[in-house]
């Protein structure tokens, strides 16, 4: 089974030119403390990428990754992801190793096949909307949305990037 997504990356004019002319550098942000080195994108959210660091340009790409080669922290059907977190909390955090460093250690030193990480952006509270039933004032539906961030760690799972001007 594959995981599919469309990702948006906000960057400077110079950053966009580099990506489009030379390709994505997956070794960037070595030692990143969040999810480790990789190419970071927002799933389905052109606007979120656009406001990231007041980005001048937005790069769009398609992602396709086998589910057993990724860590998906966006689902409550966690399985291996829970074990990874337990492993980190029990053995790596006490040694003052950041989560991103831990992930890259698994890949580089232990040969674990992790090509993609997905995670909910919980820095901003998920937005809740209450929709009132037009026929029954006592009934309400709660709708919520939030953003998902992806850390792409391998070139094989991402399509040719292209610059986009808007969501269309």
Partner 1 sequence: MKVKDFLNTLDETILEKIDKLSKELRERRSFSKYNDFEDIVYGLSMESIKFYIKPVIKQIPSYFTLGSKI
Where does this chain touch partner 1 (CB under 8 A) — which range of 2-10, 40-48, 79-87, 137-145? 79-87
Q: Is 3 in the site for partner 1 (CB under 8 A)?
A: no
The residues facing 116 across adjacent strands are: 70, 152
Burial class of residue 92 in the structure, from the number of CB atoms within 10 Å of its CB (0-12 exposed, 13-18 middle, 19+ buried):
middle
Min CB(123)–partner 1 separation in Å: 5
> In the complex, what is the shortest distance from the CB of residue 156 to partner 1, in angstroms, rounded to a whole number?
15
Q: What is the DSSP string of 115-158?
A: -EEEEE--SSPPEEEEEE-TT-TT-EEEEEE--EEEEE--GGGB
Tell me how far, at minimum, the Cβ of 133 lies from partner 1, in Å: 29
Question: What is residue 81's three-state secondary structure?
Answer: helix
User: For partner 1, which residue of 110, 129, 135, 142 counts as binding (CB under 8 A)?
Assistant: 110
Does 1 participate in binding partner 1 (rule CB under 8 A)? no
31 is a contact residue toward partner 1 (CB under 8 A): yes
């Amino acid at each position: 089974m594959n995981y599919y997504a469309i990702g948006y990356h906000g960057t400077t004019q110079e950053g966009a030119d580099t990506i489009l002319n030379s390709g994505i550098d997956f070794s960037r942000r070595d030692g990143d403390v969040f999810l480790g080195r990789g190419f970071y994108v927002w799933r389905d959210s052109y606007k979120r990428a656009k406001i990231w660091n007041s980005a001048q340009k937005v790069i769009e790409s398609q992602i396709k990754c086998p589910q057993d080669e990724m860590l998906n922290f966006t689902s409550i059907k966690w399985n291996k992801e829970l074990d990874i977190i337990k492993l980190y909390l029990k053995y790596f955090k006490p040694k003052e190793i950041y989560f991103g460093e831990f992930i890259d250690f698994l890949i580089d030193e232990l040969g674990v096949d992790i090509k993609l990480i997905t995670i909910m952006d919980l820095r901003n509270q998920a937005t809740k909307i209450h929709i009132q039933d037009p026929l029954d004032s006592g009934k309400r539906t709660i709708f919520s949305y939030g953003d998902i961030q992806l850390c792409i760690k391998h070139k094989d799972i991402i399509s040719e990037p292209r610059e986009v001007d808007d969501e269309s």
